[in-house]
Amino acid sequence: MEDKKRHIAILGSTGSIGTQALEVLNQHPDIFELEVLTAHSNAELLIKQALKYQPNAVVISDESRYREVNDALFDAGIKVYAGEEALTQVVEMESIDMVLTALVGYAGLKPTLAAIRAGKNIALANKETLVVAGDLVTKMAQEKGVNVFPVDSEHSAIFQCLVGEFHNPIEKIYLTASGGPFRGKTRDELMQVTRAQALKHPNWVMGAKITIDSASLMNKGLEVIEAKWLFNLKNEQIDVIVHPQSIIHSIVQFTDGSMKAQMGLPDMKLPIQFALGYPQRLKSDFERFNFANYSSFTFEQPDKETFRNLQLAFDALEKGGNAACVLNAANEVAVDAFLHDKIGFLAMSDLIEHCLQKVAYIERPEYEDYVQTDRETREMAKAYLN
């Protein structure tokens, strides 16, 4: 009998998105087959996941953990690979239909390009890849006839609004933002905020990097750039609106003025499942929205003067070329420094602005230019911190 199941690789299976994706797969064993799991250094969880879900192969990026993982999975007949290169090789496996990119940061770029080159459809959670090199990624996807399905909740919302409308032009999109834990605070108040406060998001539980990005509104800035590439939009067609309840996940406005929105409780399992299962809507028992719990939805303009990261992202988008790659690399260094209590919350924007001004501008970057820009920006950012 022909195997009609969708064969999935999850890059970054030990993270917030990765573990939720495994729950989704587990609910639909008739639809999905797991091929590959990967993790950066969390060998314990990777081993546990592999023994439970029985993939064909796993990759542990941190080579010093290879022996431990291999010893644990050898008897189960699960192939174990280690190192950065293995990540870009494993996505080429013939049996894989779709790759979920649930790893965090610039590290996602190379394996995502490798997966597209090998003709695999992508369920994209790793927004940094599109921020860094959206032009290369979308161009290669087009050439290879590969689909890039959004996992990010806002972009999934837009995609869901577009189903049945693919031939109708978009006039505008509104990306909704919760505003994060510091909505309404002044710059003076933001001087004092701590890592622990920034790590407490009001509506979502996520990995550390995106949680800090959500507090600084950089996450929304990255999502603006992500939206441009996913939906082929002009900069002026993208707007951000703060909606603190996080029930409306984004809105598309069409050329007749009609606006479609997608709603639901904040739960990443829904957009993960929609991306993996498209075009089907699979049954789920996720908690349903209840009107009795919400007497109103509110909307406000984002405060780009207080939360400068959002403005910096719009500036990078406007500048084009390698500017968004600089923005991303500087932000990764800044978030890491903030998480290690090396800089304050507001200093993150200073560092990013410094790099955006200083790193050499390249108007039409090739892949190697992005690699060089990322490296140069990280060096400059670290020098600025010392």
Q: CB under 5 to 8 A by kind: which of Mg ion, ligand NAD, none does 17 bind? A: ligand NAD
How many CB atoms within 10 Å of residue 67? 13
Q: CB under 5 to 8 A by kind: which of Mg ion, ligand NAD, none does 104 bind? A: ligand NAD
Interface stretch with Mg ion, choices 31-39, 151-159, 188-196, 313-321 (CB under 5 A):
151-159
Residue 214 Cβ vs Mg ion, minimum distance, rounded to whole Å: 8
Binding region for ligand NAD (CB under 6 A): 12-18, 39-40, 42, 61, 102-104, 107, 125-128, 152, 204, 206-207, 210, 268
Whole-angstrom distance, CA of residue 211 vs CA of residue 335: 10
Per-residue exposure over 265-296, b if at least 16 CB sit within 10 Å of its own CB, e if not: ebebebbbbbbbbbeeeeebeeeeeeeeeeee
Residue 126 Cβ vs ligand NAD, minimum distance, rounded to whole Å: 4
Question: Which residue, 61 or 153, has its beta carbon nearer to Mg ion?
Answer: 153
Q: Which of 142, 104, 122, 135 is nearest to 225 (CA)?
A: 135
Interface stretch with Mg ion, choices 46-54, 144-152, 281-289, 378-386 (CB under 5 A):
144-152
Residue 270 Cβ vs ligand NAD, minimum distance, rounded to whole Å: 11
Question: Which residue, 12 or 365, has its beta carbon nearer to ligand NAD?
Answer: 12
Per-residue binder mask for Mg ion (CB under 5 A), 293-312, x = binder: --------------------
Question: Which residue, 154 or 303, has its beta carbon nearer to Mg ion?
Answer: 154
- Contacts of 43-52 with C-beta under 8 Å, sequence gap 24+, read 43/68, 43/69, 45/14, 46/13, 46/14, 47/72, 47/73, 49/13, 49/14, 49/19, 49/22, 50/76, 50/78, 51/76
Whole-angstrom distance, CA of residue 363 vs CA of residue 320: 7
Residue 95 Cβ vs ligand NAD, minimum distance, rounded to whole Å: 21
Question: Which residue, 152 or 376, has its beta carbon nearer to Mg ion?
Answer: 152
Cβ-Cβ contacts under 8 Å for 293 (sequence gap 6 or more): none
Interface stretch with Mg ion, choices 82-90, 152-160, 161-169, 377-385 (CB under 5 A):
152-160
The residue sitting closest to ligand NAD, measured at its beta carbon, is 15
Q: Does 152 bind Mg ion (CB under 5 A)?
A: yes
Whole-angstrom distance, CA of residue 137 vs CA of residue 130: 7
Question: Which residue, 58 or 261, has its beta carbon nearer to Mg ion?
Answer: 261
How many CB atoms within 10 Å of residue 235? 12
| Tokens coding 63 | 């080579």
The length of the chain in residues reads 386
Q: CB under 5 to 8 A by kind: which of ligand NAD, Mg ion, none does 55 bind? A: none
Whole-angstrom distance, CA of residue 115 vs CA of residue 133: 15
Question: Which residue, 102 or 115, has its beta carbon nearer to ligand NAD?
Answer: 102
Interface stretch with Mg ion, choices 17-25, 150-158, 311-319, 346-354 (CB under 5 A):
150-158
DSSP string over 135-179: HHHHHHHHHHT--EEE-SHHHHHHHHHHTT-TTSPEEEEEEEE--
Interface stretch with Mg ion, choices 37-45, 54-62, 109-117, 154-162 (CB under 5 A):
154-162
Residue 351 Cβ vs ligand NAD, minimum distance, rounded to whole Å: 19
